[in-house]
Amino acid sequence: MSVHPCEYRYYTPEMKRVFTEENKLQRWLDVEAALARAHAKLGRIPEGAAEEISRKASIRHVKFERVKEVEREINHDVMAMVRVLSEVCEGDAGKYVHLGATSYDIVDTAWALILRDAIGIIERRLVELKDVLLGLAMEHKETVCIGRTHGQHALPFTYGMKFAIWASEVNRHLERLKECARRVIVGKMSGAVGTMAGFGKDGFEIQRLVMEELGIGEVEIANQIAPRDNYAELIFLNALIAATLNRIAKEIRNLQRTEIGEVFEPFGAKQVGSSTMSHKRNPHRSERICGISRVIMSHVFPALENAALLEHERDLTNSSSERIILPESFILLDYILYEIIQILRGLEFNYENIEKNLNLTGGLMMSENVMLNLVKKGMGRQEAHELLRKLSLKCFREKVPFKKAILEHEILGNLVTEEELEEWLNPKNYIGTAVEQVERIVNRLRN
Check the CA dihedral 386-387-392-393 and report its sign. Answer: positive
Q: Tell me how far apart the alpha carbons of residues 275 and 51 are, in angstroms, rounded to a whole number.
A: 61
Q: Tell me how far apart the alpha carbons of residues 186 and 191 are, in angstroms, rounded to a whole number.
A: 15
Question: 97-115: string of b/e by CB count within 10 Å (b at 16+)?
Answer: bbbbbbbbbbbbbbbbbbb
CB-CB neighbours of 235 under 10 Å: 27
Q: Which residues are catalytic?
A: 150, 274
> What backbone torsions phi and psi does residue 187 show, to the nearest 5 degrees?
-120, 175
Pairing of strands 348-349, 263-264: antiparallel
Q: How many CA atoms lie within 13 A of 445 on its CB side?
A: 31
> What backbone torsions phi and psi does residue 432 show, to the nearest 5 degrees?
55, -130
Among 237, 255, 17, CA closest to 126: 237
Check the CA dihedral 239-293-135-162 and report its sign. Answer: negative
Beta bridge partner(s), residue 145: 157
103-139 and 228-255 helices cross at what angle (nearest 10)? 30
Contact criterion met (CB below 8 Å) for 119 and 185: yes
Residue 68's Cβ-count burial label (10 Å; 0-12, 13-18, 19+) is middle
> Cα dihedral angle (91, 92, 94, 95), rounded to 10 degrees?
170
Q: Tell me how far apart the alpha carbons of residues 392 and 432 are, in angstroms, rounded to a whole number.
A: 23
> What backbone torsions phi and psi does residue 345 show, to the nearest 5 degrees?
-65, -30
Q: Tell me how far apart the alpha carbons of residues 23 and 66 are, in angstroms, rounded to a whole number.
A: 15
Q: Tell me how far apart the alpha carbons of residues 185 and 343 are, in angstroms, rounded to a whole number.
A: 32
First to last CA, the chain: 48
